[in-house]
C-alpha cells in the first residue's frame, strides 16, 4: 500500500463535508447553490460528490406528503450538484413514472389487497369461532385489530412495494453514475 494521493486526501476531507451539507439541506431547506458558491473551486467536486450520495440515498417512494415534499427537495438539490442536467432529468422522468404508478394504480392495488386480506381473515376467524363456540352469525369481528392480520398486511405491503423499490434502486444507481 502506497502513500495516499492529494486527490484521495481531498476526497477524505471534503466528501463528508458534502454529505453534511446535503443532510442539512434536506432537514432545514436552505440554498444549496449559495452554500456551494462559498466553497473553493478546488474542493467543490468532492463536496458535490458527497452531497450527491446523500441526496440520491434520500429518494423514497411517495407514500405520504412528507415523502413527496422530501423527494422534491432532494431532486431539486441533485439538479444543483450534478453537471449533466439532461441526464438527471432523463432519469427523473423514469422516477416520476414509478411515483405516478405507485400513487395511482399502486394505491388501488393496496386497497384491493387490504380488502381481500381482511375478508380472508374474517372468514378464517368466523370459521374458527364457529368450530369452537357454535353459532356466531351476527357477531362483528375486529380483524384489523388482530396482530396476525397486521403482520400479514405488513408482508403484503412490503411485497407490493418491492417491485417499485427494485426499479427505484436501479434509477438511483443511474443517478449516482451521472456526473
In a domain, 106, yes or no: yes
pLDDT at residue 66, as a whole number: 96
Q: What is the pTM of this model?
A: 0.85
Share of the chain above pLDDT 70, in %: 98
Name the pLDDT band for 138 (thresholds 50, 70, 90). Answer: low
| In the predicted structure, residue 30 carries a pLDDT above the cut 90 | no
Q: What is the CA radius of gyration of the chain?
A: 24
Do the Cβ atoms of 88 and 178 come closer than 8 Å?
yes
* Domain span holding position 95: 6-177
Do the Cβ atoms of 95 and 173 come closer than 8 Å?
no
In a domain, 17, yes or no: yes
pLDDT at residue 140, as a whole number: 78
How many domains in the chain? Answer: 1
- 139's CB contacts (< 8 A; 6+ apart) are 129
Q: What is the mean pLDDT of the chain?
A: 93
**Residue 105 per-residue DSSP state:** I
Name the pLDDT band for 137 (thresholds 50, 70, 90). Answer: low
List pLDDT tens digits, range 50-109: 999 999 999 999 999 999 999 999 999 999 999 999 999 999 999 999 999 999 999 999
pLDDT at residue 47, as a whole number: 96
In a domain, 1, yes or no: no
| In the predicted structure, residue 126 carries a pLDDT above the cut 90 | no
pLDDT at residue 127, as a whole number: 87
Amino acid at each position: 500500500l502506497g502513500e495516499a494521493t492529494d486527490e484521495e486526501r481531498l476526497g477524505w476531507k471534503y466528501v463528508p463535508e458534502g454529505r453534511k451539507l446535503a443532510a442539512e439541506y434536506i432537514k432545514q431547506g436552505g440554498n444549496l447553490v449559495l452554500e456551494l458558491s462559498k466553497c473553493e473551486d478546488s474542493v467543490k467536486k468532492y463536496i458535490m460528490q458527497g452531497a450527491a450520495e446523500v441526496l440520491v440515498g434520500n429518494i423514497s417512494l411517495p407514500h405520504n406528503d412528507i415523502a413527496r415534499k422530501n423527494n422534491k427537495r432532494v431532486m431539486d438539490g441533485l439538479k444543483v450538484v450534478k453537471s449533466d442536467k439532461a441526464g438527471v432529468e432523463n432519469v427523473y422522468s423514469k422516477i416520476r413514472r414509478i411515483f405516478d404508478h405507485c400513487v395511482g394504480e399502486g394505491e388501488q392495488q393496496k386497497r384491493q389487497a387490504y380488502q381481500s386480506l381482511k375478508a380472508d381473515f374474517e372468514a378464517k376467524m368466523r370459521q374458527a369461532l364457529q368450530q369452537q363456540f357454535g353459532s356466531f352469525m351476527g357477531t362483528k369481528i375486529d380483524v384489523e385489530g388482530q396482530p396476525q392480520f397486521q403482520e400479514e398486511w405488513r408482508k403484503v405491503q412490503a411485497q407490493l412495494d418491492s417491485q417499485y423499490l427494485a426499479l427505484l434502486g436501479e434509477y438511483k444507481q443511474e443517478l449516482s453514475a451521472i456526473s
